[in-house]
């Protein structure tokens, strides 16, 4: 489509990548629906994104070249798989996992120095994301370091735009999952009763899931979780270190913690974007789009829209939570939101319990992550316990 649309911006320009959030704020004022060869149509305004999320007939999720269950599906296929998946994140499942979640959060936080520096992304965020996700899936601790190395290589290939390497990495990850499936099949009745085994035994429309479908579900849960949970930990720790007044409020009243987490992550998105594709001609954001045009929802802009959030750059704990699209909305709202909220709240609870102060380092500022990652690549802080 780039031969028919004028380039409004370059999302990979150095000035944009230096601070994506600031760049999106500026674009939202100047050009709230912007075209680029890289992202096609970028949506930066809350109202436009709400329209897309609520009209899944016109704005399809089937924007991936590969099977992605159920992320890149539309009804009725999406509905069948969502019905299968949602109980894994329902109240009973969360209650069952809660003691493990709390124990892992406390164990990770317990590694903090008594009085010293910590790099919050690698030492806290990545450790917690790896350990909590493997525990939830029922995967062995021996996978922590191979998965950490895989994530690093995937991030490097993504930043380099190396499609060949990304394809090889996807096959490598799928191979890990297939080995886990095979070991459970060999174990038969002795296989562990965990999330992975339960997914293997699911059916849809009266038939067993294919291995390709099982791998896709487990891949989406794991890859997405590893990136967004670690990014969220870095964002949250840095924000509290930079805002001692809020840090003090949360230490004094933990009942504010859940609202504060969602509000801080509204300001600074851990997940930067999602994609859609038009199924028919449509007018949106002052533009006419034809069928087959690709859109990128920029969550890093949408949740900071001044038209919806008064004082959008401030943390306010009394906002209407329905306006916050941290986990999306509509039929494609993130099914894992209950798990993510529990994980982040448990981690922050443990962090506040185990420390008396978290503050920034004057000589080592945090380093922003580059698109498509959200948050930070490095968050050096000082903690006192």
Phi, psi of 163 (to 5 degrees): -65, -35
Q: Tokens 């019905």 label which residue?
A: 83
Give the global pTM. Answer: 0.95
Mean pLDDT, to the nearest integer, of 242-254?
97
| In contact, 261 and 348? CB cutoff 8 Å | yes
Which residues make Cβ contacts (< 8 Å) with residue 218, sequence separation at least 6? Answer: 137, 177, 196, 199
Q: Does 1.10.630.10 match the CATH number of domain 14-384?
A: yes
Cα separation, 20 vs 372, whole angstroms: 10
- Long-range contact set of residues 198-207: C-beta below 8 Å, sequence gap at least 24: 198/88, 199/88, 202/84, 204/80, 204/81, 204/84, 205/80
- Cβ-based neighbour number of residue 95 at 10 Å: 10
Instruction: Quick: pLDDT tens for 77-92.
Output: 999 999 999 999 999 9
Domain ranges of the chain: 14-384
Predicted local confidence at residue 162, as pLDDT: 85
Which residues make Cβ contacts (< 8 Å) with residue 257, sequence separation at least 6? Answer: 250, 345, 348, 349, 352
Predicted local confidence at residue 147, as pLDDT: 92
Q: How confident is the model at residue 2 (pLDDT cuts 50, 70, 90)?
A: very low
Query: How far, rounded to the nearest angstrom, does the alpha carbon of residue 258 sit from its chain's CA centroid?
Result: 17
Cα separation, 269 vs 292, whole angstroms: 27
Cα separation, 303 vs 46, whole angstroms: 7
Given a cut of 90, is residue 152 above it in pLDDT?
A: no
Mean pLDDT, to the nearest integer, of 186-214?
95
| In contact, 42 and 11? CB cutoff 8 Å | yes
Instruction: Quick: pLDDT tens for 260-294.
Output: 999 999 999 999 999 999 999 999 999 999 999 99
Instruction: Quick: pLDDT tens for 329-384.
Output: 999 999 999 999 999 999 999 999 999 999 999 999 999 998 989 999 999 999 99
Instruction: Quick: pLDDT tens for 31-69.
Output: 999 999 999 999 999 999 999 999 999 999 999 888 899
Cα separation, 120 vs 279, whole angstroms: 42
Given a cut of 80, is residue 200 above it in pLDDT?
A: yes
Predicted local confidence at residue 298, as pLDDT: 97
Cα separation, 141 vs 131, whole angstroms: 7
Burial tier of 166 (Cβ tally within 10 Å: 0-12, 13-18, 19+): middle
């Amino acid at each position: 489509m780039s031969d028919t649309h004028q380039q409004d911006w370059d999302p990979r320009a150095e000035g944009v990548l230096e601070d994506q959030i600031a760049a999106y704020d500026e674009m939202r004022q100047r050009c709230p629906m912007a075209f680029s060869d890289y992202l096609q149509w970028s949506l930066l305004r809350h109202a436009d994104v709400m329209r897309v999320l609520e009209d899944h007939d016109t704005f399809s999720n089937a924007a991936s070249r590969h099977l992605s269950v159920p992320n890149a599906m539309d009804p009725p296929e999406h509905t069948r798989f969502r019905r299968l998946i949602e109980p894994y994140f329902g109240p009973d499942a969360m209650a069952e996992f809660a003691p493990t979640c709390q124990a892992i959060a406390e164990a990770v936080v317990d590694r903090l120095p008594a009085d010293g520096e910590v790099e919050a992304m690698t030492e806290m965020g990545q450790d917690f994301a790896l350990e909590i996700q493997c525990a939830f899936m029922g995967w062995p601790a021996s996978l922590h370091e191979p998965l950490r190395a895989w994530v690093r290589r995937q991030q490097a290939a993504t930043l380099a735009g190396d499609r060949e390497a990304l394809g090889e990495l996807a096959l490598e990850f799928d191979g890990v999952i297939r080995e886990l499936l095979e070991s459970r099949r060999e174990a038969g009745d002795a296989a562990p009763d965990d999330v992975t085994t339960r997914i293997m035994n699911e059916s849809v429309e009266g038939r067993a899931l294919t291995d390709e479908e099982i791998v896709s579900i487990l891949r989406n849960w794991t890859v997405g979780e590893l990136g967004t949970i670690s990014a969220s930990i870095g964002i949250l720790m840095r924000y509290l270190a930079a805002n001692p007044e809020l840090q003090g409020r949360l230490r004094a009243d933990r009942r504010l913690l859940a609202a504060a987490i969602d509000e801080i992550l509204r300001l600074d998105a851990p997940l930067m974007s999602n994609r859609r594709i038009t199924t028919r001609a449509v007018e949106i954001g002052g533009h006419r789009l034809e069928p087959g045009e690709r859109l990128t929802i920029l969550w890093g802009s949408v949740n900071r829209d001044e038209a919806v959030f008064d004082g959008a750059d401030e943390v306010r704990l009394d906002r209407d939570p329905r306006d916050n699209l941290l986990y999306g909305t509509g039929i494609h709202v993130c099914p894992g939101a209950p798990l993510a909220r529990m994980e982040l709240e448990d981690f922050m609870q443990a962090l506040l319990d185990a420390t008396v102060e978290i503050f920034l380092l004057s000589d080592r500022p945090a380093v922003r992550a580059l698109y498509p990652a959200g948050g930070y690549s490095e968050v050096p802080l000082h903690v006192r316990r």
